[in-house]
Amino acid sequence: MKKNNQLNLYFDESIYQKKENKNLDTRINVIISFFLLLSFLTLSKLIFLGFDKKELSLKDNYIKQELKRRSIVDQNNNLLAYSIKTHDLLIRTKKIKNFNNLNLKLRIKFPEVDLKKIKNFNKRSFHVIKKNLSPAEYNNALSLGEPSLELVENETRIYPDKNLFSHILGNIDIDQQGISGIELFLNDEILDKKKINIPIVLSVDQSVQFIIRETLLDSINIFSAKGASAVLMEAGSGKILSMVSLPDYNPNDRSELKNKENLFNKNSKGLYELGSVFKTFVIANALELKKVTRDKVYKNLPSQVTCGKFFIKEYKYSKDKKNLSVNDILVESSNIGTIRIIQDSGLETYQNFLEKLEIFDYSGIELPEVSASTKKRWGMCRTLTAGYGHGINTTPLQLTRAYASIINGGNLLEPTLLKNKKTKIKNKIISKENSKIIKKILRTNVDNNYIRGGSGRKADINGYNVMGKTGTAEKPSKIDKGYSNEIMNVFVSAFDVDKNLYVLTVIMDEPKGAPELWGHNRRESGWNAGFINGQIIKKIGPILNTLKINDYAKLN
């Protein structure tokens, strides 16, 4: 009996061992099957990627960065700049089977591409041969069916108005980084991914900008001018509604970025001696110091005076310019009368007044293309000639800002291209009362009914209470230290639209006479810059009035 029990135990143990071995074999089979399946899936993935010609991401040394720029709009939310998805065409050098055949195919579809001209072609694993493909180019690339070609997702910047805002918006490089204009100045803000759906809102108005640019283009043809520019500022806020500089360029066409003359922003970067428009500042300073009144008369004014070795002459002197009131010194644009006012006020006080206007400093506008005066060395003669804008220079933007402070009640404001930027008063220039007096004086220079007939008569547009001052300056010679025969004309106006004041500066660069328009060849500022200024006011006035009505409706 014991033997049988012992046999049973041996038998049971043998059965249990066989079952355990069988379970172990099952586990091993499962593990092997799992690894085989994983290897198969990995191999399938590699084969799939090998045949896929449209890769959206790249390895090797080509690092794809997903840069997204915020849109830019005008004050009415019209799109001025935005980004869209596009593709780059890339070639993998190691996947090329027949170099000559591939190159021929590419040249048929993309004539500008020639692989033979790419330096160190075989030393790199890939080359980007065409960036920002158009839809047609994208389809052309697909149709080639070449395994060595890849389409890589990218984005490009679109400027729908082409040249219209070129000097304001600026441009970006191929890596989506700003290189000029607002695109550069606000580059970090535009690249803020947290605000990608919130556009940058500018203070400019698309319709106003279009009208001013078209009018300036016409003026260049009428007066055979080298160029022209204009700045329109809201006097009470410092906001820029329009800024045009001609010639300009199309930011969508990168080939145009090579023309430095077209890239140059006359308004914020250009430094010019702007002539008699400075006489307004002479009178404003004297009024503020209570050295003169509007009606004070300067008697026995000569046709010329000497300052050291230099003669300061009156332009077209006549007997009726011998005795002039302060008001009429501006209307007649008297150089000698202006000098007398500076002498009565004190040379240093006039220097200080210009410094207070910050007219020689950087403007603070949201653009990288800015300049500060390069001519600010004071002396007796230099101070006197600065009274009529000779021997000192500034930018048209700074001139516009200075005039705004004179006629807005005396507040010097920071100019801005941003709609929602809060206005900041930098300096108090003159009192409200003296600001009103200056406006009256400037009005007589434009008023067609004023007895003396000021130089700004061609800008007198009914219904806008236009006021302003002309300036005709000889351009410095490029050959020697003197002046050339070429001129730069400026007219700075201020005008009312529904009790809101605007300042408009128009500059004509080297204008010629227009006998077909006037019947003579005179080329002083009043006959071109003043006239064009008035034409702009006539055209944009109704638009500005509509804007103010819309603003009122929003508030109520």
Can you tell me the distance from the alpha carbon of 202 to that of 168, in angstroms, rounded to the nearest whole number? 10
pLDDT of 457-497, one tens digit each? 999 999 999 999 999 887 877 777 778 888 999 999 999 99
Q: Is the pLDDT of residue 550 over 80?
A: no
DSSP string covering 6-73, please?
HHHHHHHHHHHHHHHHHHHHHHHHHHHHHHHHHHHHHHHHHHHHHH----SS--TT-------PPPEE
- Give the ranges where 236-370 is alpha helix by DSSP (H): 260-263, 279-288, 326-331, 335-345, 347-356
The candidate with the shortest Cα–Cα distance to 283, out of 389, 432, 438, 431, is 438
Query: Structure tokens of 289?
Result: 């110091």
C-alpha 420, offset from chain centre: 17
Domain boundaries, the chain: 1-51, 72-201, 208-555
Give the per-residue pLDDT at 495: 98
pLDDT of 155-184, one tens digit each? 899 999 999 999 999 999 988 899 999 999
pLDDT of 235-253, one tens digit each? 999 999 999 999 999 999 9
Q: Is the pLDDT of residue 267 over 60?
A: yes
Query: Structure tokens of 398?
Result: 């700074």
Instruction: Please give the residue that has the higher pLDDT: either 311 or 72.
Output: 72
Tell me the one-letter amino acid at 276.
S
150 touches 90 (CB < 8 A)? yes
Lowest mean pLDDT among 45-54, 263-272, 510-519: 45-54
342 touches 350 (CB < 8 A)? yes
Give the per-residue pLDDT at 526: 96
The bridge status of strand 72-73 relative to strand 200-201 is: parallel
Q: Is the pLDDT of residue 17 over 60?
A: no
Which DSSP letter does residue 417 get?
S
Of the CA atoms within 13 Å of residue 468, those in its CB half-sphere come to 38
Give the per-residue pLDDT at 3: 46
The structure tokens 């500005």 sit at: 544
Give the per-residue pLDDT at 37: 66
Give the per-residue pLDDT at 484: 82
CATH classification code of 72-201: 3.90.1310.10
Give the per-residue pLDDT at 60: 41
Average pLDDT, rounded, for the chain? 89
Q: Is the pLDDT of residue 7 over 70?
A: no
Q: Is the pLDDT of residue 2 over 50?
A: no
Cα(first)–Cα(last) distance of the chain, in Å? Answer: 113
pTM: 0.84
Can you tell me the distance from the alpha carbon of 137 to that of 85, in angstroms, rounded to the nearest whole number? 14
Can you tell me the distance from the alpha carbon of 523 to that of 460, in angstroms, rounded to the nearest whole number? 18
- Fold classification of 208-555 is Beta-lactamase (3.40.710)
Helix axes 529-555 and 206-222, enclosed angle (nearest 10): 170
235 touches 494 (CB < 8 A)? yes
Q: Is the pLDDT of residue 39 over 70?
A: no
